[in-house]
Amino acid sequence: MFDSQVYALRRKALFDQVGHPVVLFSNPDYGIPGQHEDSNFLYFTGISQPGMALVVDEAGRSILFVPRYREERVRWEGSSMAPSQDEAERYGFDEIRLSGEECSRFTVSLFDPVAMWDDFKKQIEDWCAADLLIGTVKNPFLLRFQVLFPELSKGVVFLEPVIARMRRIKSRQEIAAITRACDITALAQEAALYSILGEDPNELTVRAALEYLFTEHGAQPAFSTVVAGGKNATVLHHLAAQVPLKKEDLVIVDIGARFDGYCADITRTYPISGRFSERQRELYELVSEAQELVAEAAKPGMFLRNPDEPELSLHHLALEFFKKHNLQEYFTHGIGHYLGLDVHDVGSYAEPLIEGDVITIEPGLYLPHEGIGIRIEDDFWVVPGGAVCLSDSLPRSVDDVEELCDSVARLA
């Protein structure tokens, strides 16, 4: 992630906006290897460890509450953050404190004894006694506290809209991380194509090839990999299975790397033979044209989707395009979504795009009766007057895709 000063400045900016204490929780330990941290907690701390609570107190000081683990935990789970001034300075906090009594286990679950939060709870009680507002966001730990201690909820103010606005406006560092995630994803798409054009490909072998590439470049899948050939490509979130890929079909590869916490989301549709049929080419070119049309219209003030103002809605722009070709019923999803720490990132579709947003643009057509599914998806950074494609390194026009297939086939 970034330098600790980045997170300290984010916390200050949040406190300056709300003017009262803030509490954010990390996630419980679900026992899932590689589980993704609560994105709001990650945004303000840069820390990906379960069972913690961030407090910004009434004076604007940042205090991190960490679990009191048993000493032998280090042999099972490794070391964790300690309540020392050195650790606090390293991570940019004013103080690190223990949350309460010792954890009975090596992990922090949602249903551990409440005593492990006693010291943290005392801080909340002091604020409630002083009738202070407490800003927070919904989280499993928060919901449990509200059930167990409803008296501590009287001053709670939910900050999702404020935090979403902050997270939407990406800094140059964030754009660099997303761009790197896009570059890794583009390399993984090419690795997928090597597998597709190789001997006896199936959906799972393609998935294995591209996910190896993620790992090789220090990234992880941002979401469940979609490799869908033939009629499977008409199922939007079909997950790869031991299904052979047939030469006459198309295959959708919808993937994204997570790098430095930030996600990419790029989809390409490839002819398994290396060449589009006449019908496949016709439909692919329409999807490509729809994407170009929407990308040219994307700018601050437009909406991803707004049925009340369709002339400003990128989704309705794509829908009207497909209507002209009597294909609107085969465009079965939205035109895109916000992108950032989450693949479907924070942001309201009821609000217009703003400078600093990162969005996907992903038109598609899905014709089950023809066994054809086509989607083209790229990631765009909204800037003054337009949008910049962050995933432009990966070919997407019909001719460029066939040329890429030729290049890969020669090397395979």
Look-up of token digits 């790098």: 259
| Pairwise CA distance, residues 148 & 159, whole Å | 22
Is 80 buried (19+), middle (13-18) or exposed (0-12) by CB count in 10 A? middle
**Which pLDDT does position 155 carry in this prediction?**
85
| Percentage of the chain lying above the pLDDT 70 cut | 94
pLDDT tens sequence across 213-233: 999 999 999 999 999 999 999
Q: Sorting pLDDT into bands at 50, 70 and 90, what band is 235?
A: very high
The yes-or-no verdict on residue 93 having pLDDT over 80 is yes
Look-up of token digits 């002091």: 126
What is the mean predicted confidence (pLDDT) over 241-261?
96
pTM of the model: 0.94
Q: Sorting pLDDT into bands at 50, 70 and 90, what band is 64?
A: very high
The yes-or-no verdict on residue 331 having pLDDT over 70 is yes
Taken in order of first residue, the domains within the chain and their CATH numbers are 4-168 (3.40.350.10), 172-411 (3.90.230.10)
Q: Provide the 10 A C-beta neighbour count for residue 283.
A: 23
Tokens at 346, concatenated: 């924070």
What is the mean predicted confidence (pLDDT) over 332-342?
98
pLDDT tens sequence across 371-412: 999 999 999 999 999 999 999 999 999 999 999 999 998 886
Q: Sorting pLDDT into bands at 50, 70 and 90, what band is 109?
A: low
Tokens at 89, concatenated: 């300075």
Q: Provide the 10 A C-beta neighbour count for residue 279.
A: 11
The yes-or-no verdict on residue 97 having pLDDT over 90 is yes
Sign of the torsion angle spanned by Cα atoms 66, 68, 73, 74 = positive
The yes-or-no verdict on residue 111 having pLDDT over 70 is no
CA atoms lying within 13 Å on the CB side of residue 127: 23
| Percentage of the chain lying above the pLDDT 90 cut | 75
The yes-or-no verdict on residue 296 having pLDDT over 70 is yes
Name the residue among 287, 343, 340 with its Cα closest to residue 165.
Answer: 340
Q: Note the helical H segments in 299-352.
A: 314-324
What is the mean predicted confidence (pLDDT) over 84-107?
85
Tell me if 228 sits within 8 A of 353, measured CB to CB.
no
Is 98 buried (19+), middle (13-18) or exposed (0-12) by CB count in 10 A? middle
The yes-or-no verdict on residue 34 having pLDDT over 80 is no
Q: Sorting pLDDT into bands at 50, 70 and 90, what band is 118?
A: confident
Q: Sorting pLDDT into bands at 50, 70 and 90, what band is 29?
A: confident
Torsion, Cα 34 38 42 43, to 10 degrees, reads: 140
| Buried residues in 213-236 as b, exposed as e (16+ CB within 10 A) | bbeebebebbbebbbbbbbbbbee
| Pairwise CA distance, residues 204 & 207, whole Å | 5
pLDDT tens sequence across 131-161: 899 999 988 888 877 777 787 777 899 999 9
The yes-or-no verdict on residue 12 having pLDDT over 70 is yes
Output the average pLDDT for the chain: 92
